[in-house]
A and B are shown apart, each in its own frame.
Chain A
Amino acid sequence: MQIRHPSAARCQVRTSTIKTRLTKTLCVFFWLAVWQTAAVVVGQRILIVGPVEVVIRLFELLEEPELWSSSVFSTVRIAGGFLLALASAIVLSMLASVHRWVRSLVEPVVQAFKAIPVASIIIVVLIWVDSRNLSVIISFMMVFPVLYTNLLSAIESTDSRMVEMGVSYRLGAYEKLRLIYLPQVYPYFLSSSSLALGLAWKSGVAAEVIGIPDGSLGERLYDAKVFFATADVFAYTLLIVILSVGFEVLMKALIRYLGRRLEAV
């Protein structure tokens, strides 16, 4: 039997990680090259612009203070919708796991949010509320079912043997939550939050493009489309992706930090 030195094994793991990262980077560059080639081949800036031009245009746009305020406008509202959905999903999933009637009451709403097309909801909501707060409501409505359903199923799949341990040790609500429920729900919470964050941005911006609230990123995207400023459309899209990823990274770091705090007593 061959015995390998631990440092050799570590070295192999490091080499494998570098290879994986290199492969991923090369794949990204491949698709960027395809995009750039397509832009050069088509040769019509109104149809498609290359990635280099998009980045340059984004830097130009970032010099405008209005773009920064539009970014804040949209981020605050979309993040607000997400956080509202998160808080509602946590409270309602906990209540629904205990009280059957809460589940029965919430279920039709969840199904309706899932089934009704986003565009219909946006139009209806526009009739009811000012377009300034449209993205809060739309991101809430899109994200809530995902978070609620995942959290409820996580609570329900809690190990019954651990629940029994809690009963036999006469644990109070706080101890049960810390020792039994949170550790089991946490992984579901992390993955569903990640999924829901992307959804919040997609639906929130879509709502802004339809509702055109003053001073939003959606309004800028709409204007760019109307004026056939394709480079601007791509640049705004890139900015939205950056904001979305940045917010996701921030939220995940916060959730992980809370998770670590929960593990310590």
Chain B
Amino acid sequence: MKGTFTKHYDGRAVLDGFTLDIHEGDIVRIMAPSGGGKTTLLRLVSGLEENECGLGNDFARHTFSWVFQEDRLTDSMSGLSNIRLATRGKVDRATILCAFEELGLDDPSKRVDECSGGMKRRMALIRAMLDDGDVIILDEPFTGLDSDARALACRFIEHHRHGRTLLLVSHEEDVLPIHVDRTVSLLP
């Protein structure tokens, strides 16, 4: 899978002809300093931002399942309802309940606005991993998780990836208990 990406914000190039060339099914970690264009690259790859580069983009024909930097869950609904609706009813209740258990979450019917930041983060991860997108994008998925929850989350990701390509952004200092096939650096 290969794509070349360019993006300017207010006349400043955040990415200028950056080529992302990865193997299908790889786990790819994207690293860059803060403000270095990690999220912009993910948004360009998934088509949420318009790519200013006219060259070919293999990613355009894929579907994506995201963990955004923010959880982007509906506060007035339960975690279970959020996941069922976001996966368009394709994932049954039992599978979601199992996923909650795997990640140490106890009450799937609890309203999201009554949950802690760490719980919401794990719900966002369940949503992305149970969805059927070809490419999984995880933008700082471990924010707000302690080391135990992080280990559970990594195991959960490996269990539910089913050989799909995974693009992962996490803090540079994070040591992740997950096998990464490739690390891509956005350093100038």
Contacts and interface: CB of A to CB of B under 8 A. Distances in A.
B66 A165 contact: yes
Interface string B91-127: 0000000000000000000010000000000000001
B88 A167 contact: no
A264 B81 CA distance: 7
In the complex, which range does the number of interface residues on chain A fall in?
10 to 19
Interface in A208-265: 263-265
A169 B76 CA distance: 19
A189 to B, nearest CB: 13
Interface stretch (A75-83, A90-98, A172-180): A172-180
Contacts of B87: 169
Most chain B Cβ neighbours within 10 Å, of A171, A172, A186, A265 = A265
A27 to B, nearest CB: 34
A171 B81 contact: no
B65 A169 contact: yes
Interface stretch (B67-75, B159-167, B179-187): B67-75
Contacts of B4: none
A263 B78 contact: yes
A25 interface: no
Contact of A179 (B68, B85, B111): B85
A265 B63 contact: no
B169 interface: no
Interface string A159-187: 00110110111111001001110010010
A167 to B, nearest CB: 7
Contacts of A161: 68, 70, 72
Contact of B88 (A164, A168, A175, A183): A175
A10 B127 CA distance: 38
A84 to B, nearest CB: 28
B138 interface: no
Given A168-B48, A175-B86, A162 B72 contact: yes
Nearest to B137: A168
Interface string B40-71: 00000010100000000000000111101010
Given A161-B68, A165-B68, A169-B66, A265 B88 contact: no
Given A169-B131, A183-B74, A263-B76, A178 B48 contact: no
A15 to B, nearest CB: 26
A162 B85 CA distance: 13
Contacts of B81: 263-265
A172 B88 contact: yes
Given A168-B46, A168-B64, A169-B131, A265 B70 contact: no
Interface of B: 46, 48, 63-66, 68, 70, 72, 74-78, 80-82, 84-88, 111, 127, 131, 133
Interface of A: 161-162, 164-165, 167-172, 175, 178-180, 183, 186, 263-265
Return the 5 tightest CB-CB contacts between A and B, nearest first.
A265-B81, A165-B72, A179-B85, A183-B76, A175-B85
